[in-house]
Homo-oligomer: A and B are copies of this chain.
Amino acid sequence: MESSVKTDSKGRKKVYNACMEPCAIEKGMRLIGGKWKGSIIYHLKDEPVRFNDLSRMLGGATKKMVDQRLKELEEEGMVIRKVISDRPIAVTYELTEFGRSALKILDDLKVWSETHNIEISK
């Protein structure tokens, strides 16, 4: 269904099966999986948070990353951006109802992760 054909540098045809019928899990993972994305949602769970505060909370994510992820989350309808003042500019991000609906999963994941005391190899 979802396939594209490209020709590589050596003139060979290549068929890219983008992702035929990706199961719901893969779809869901694209929304809340991916680096920082789940964490961002989770850190917005209680109240609107300002851009730089969010960056600091994530401790390790660059502004670029945070910015990028927030834009994705906005497009997906999980987060709303609000300008609360110009000069000096201040912006907050908060969850939509849809965003909120993902919190349970993220919280379960957090608990699961903590109880199994997961160590990162690399």
Q: A108-B105, A108-B108, A112-B101 are contacts. A29–B25 as well, Cβ < 8 Å?
A: no
- The yes or no answer to A83 lying at the interface (CB within 8 A) is no
Within 8 A of B (CB), among A16-32: 17, 19-32
Contact with B along A43-72 (1 / 0, CB 8 A): 000000000000000011000000000000
List the B side residues contacting A75 at CB < 8 Å.
121
Chain B neighbourhood of A30, CB < 8 A: 118, 120
Any chain B CB within 8 A of the CB of A6?
Answer: no
Q: For residue A33, which residues in chain B have a CB less than 8 angstroms away from its CB?
A: 29, 33-34, 38
Q: Which residues on B sit within 8 Å (CB–CB) of A34? A: 29, 33
Nearest-neighbor residue (CB-CB) of A62 within chain B: B17
What's the dominant secondary structure at chain A's contact region? helix
Closest-CB distance, A101 to chain B (whole angstroms): 7
* CB atoms of A113 and B19 under 8 A apart: no
A34 vs B33: C-alpha distance in the bound complex, in angstroms?
7
Distance in angstroms between the alpha carbons of A23 and B56 in the assembled complex: 13
